[in-house]
Amino acid sequence: MITLYDYELSGNCYKLRLLMSFLGIDHKTVPIDFYPGREHKSEWFLKLNPLGQLPVIEDDGLILRDAQAILVYLASKYDPSGKWYPRDNPALLGEISQWLAFADGITATASAARLHDALFYDFDIDAARAGAHRLFRILDEHLWFGEQQGRDWICSAAHPTIADIACFPYIMLSEEGGIPRQDYPAIRRWCDRVKRIKGFIVMSGVFPAGPARAAA
């Protein structure tokens, strides 16, 4: 069984919980006392991940770190529909990788702002917030034109991919870092769509959406 080294308040860990819930994968959780215990910097954990970061998974003897990398692995191995990470579609794989990197940017900005505000990290808060707003503007524009062209998700497929999962948590949690999403209406609508994917689960700070309107 997959073991997830997990912290409830981590958006990066939530990405994996989300995908595993969408795919219906059973897993075991090892809670890591990220704050205030700093267990992710403990000697035993550094042996798992020398970067001292969450999340980490262990599956069939494979130890893997980095949320985006783990999304790629889990979707490749456990998604029989092949939709979350379509290995036979090079253009789509390229797009997904592009947005996985973008998600790293969101982590470096929106998540950093949240760590500053909520867990007292010593970051340049103005730079973090400004950086997040810059990324959110780009994503909002991308999603707005997507809607105009009948595309609901970040990549140009008719279904969500791991790129949507990778970008979602720290956008949803951005207000905890003092980053309002009021000026990003297309992002707000996309968040509703993500929340309506079958199998969606919440985490602390992420609220559920109601059901979509039934087709008349």
Q: Which is nearer to another protein, 65 or 188 (CB)?
A: 188
**Binding residue (CB under 8 A) for another protein from 37, 94, 185, 199:** 185
Shortest Å, Cβ 21 to another protein: 20
**Judged by CB under 8 A, does residue 183 bind another protein?**
yes
Min dist. Cβ of residue 113 to another protein (A):
17
Binders in 191-210 for another protein, by CB under 8 A: 192, 207-210
**Residue 54 burial by Cβ neighbours in a 10 Å radius (0-12, 13-18, 19+):** buried
149 binds another protein (CB under 8 A): yes
33 binds another protein (CB under 8 A): no
Rounded Cα distance, 98 and 94, in Å = 6
The answer to the question of residue 44 lying near another protein (CB under 8 A) is no
Least separation in angstroms between CB 24 and another protein: 22
147 lies in the site for another protein, by CB under 8 A: yes
Is 213 among the residues that bind another protein (CB under 8 A)? yes
